[in-house]
Amino acid sequence: MLELVNSRASIFTLPSAAQRKRHGGERPGDLVVGLAQSDRELDAIGRLRYNVFSSEYGASLNQSGLDRDTFDVWCDHLMVKDLLSDEVVGTYRILTPHQAKRAGGYYSEQEFDLSGLGIVKGHLVEFGRACIHEQYRNGAVLMMLWSGLAEILKQGRYEHVFGCASVSLRDDGVSAAQVWRSVREHLGGADEEPVVVPHHRYPVEQIDDDLPGVIPALLSGYLKLGARVCGQPAWDPDFNTADFPMLLSVSQMGVRYRKHFGFE
pTM: 0.85
Q: What is the pLDDT of residues 217-251, one digit of tens each?
A: 889 999 999 999 999 999 999 888 999 999 999 99
Number of compact structural domains in the chain: 1
Lowest mean pLDDT segment, chosen from 76-90, 105-119, 184-198: 184-198
Q: What is the pLDDT of residues 52-82, one digit of tens each?
A: 988 777 666 676 788 899 999 999 999 999 9
Lowest mean pLDDT segment, chosen from 32-36, 197-201, 260-264: 260-264
Mean pLDDT, residues 37-58 taken together:
89
d(CA 67, CA 136): 20
Average of per-residue pLDDT values in the chain: 84
Q: Which residues have CB under 8 Å from 32's CB, separation 6+?
A: 1, 14, 15, 20, 25, 80, 81, 83
Q: What is the CATH number of the domain that holds 62?
A: 3.40.630.30
Structural domain of 95: 3-260
d(CA 36, CA 51): 18
CB 95 within 8 A of CB 104: no
Q: What is the 3-state secondary structure (H, E, C) of the chain?
A: CCEEECCCCCEEECCCHHHHHHCCCCCCCCEEEEECCCHHHHHHHHHHHHHHHHHHHCCCCCCCCCCCCCCHHHCEEEEEEECCCCEEEEEEEEECHHHHHHHCCCHHHHCEECHHHHHHHHHEEEEEEEEECHHHCCCHHHHHHHHHHHHHHHHHCCCEEEEEEEEECCCCCHHHHHHHHHHHHHCCCCCCCCCCEECCECCHHHCCCCCCCCCCHHHHHHHHHCCEECCCCEEECCCCEEEEEEEEEHHHCCHHHHHHCCCC
CB 229 within 8 A of CB 183: yes
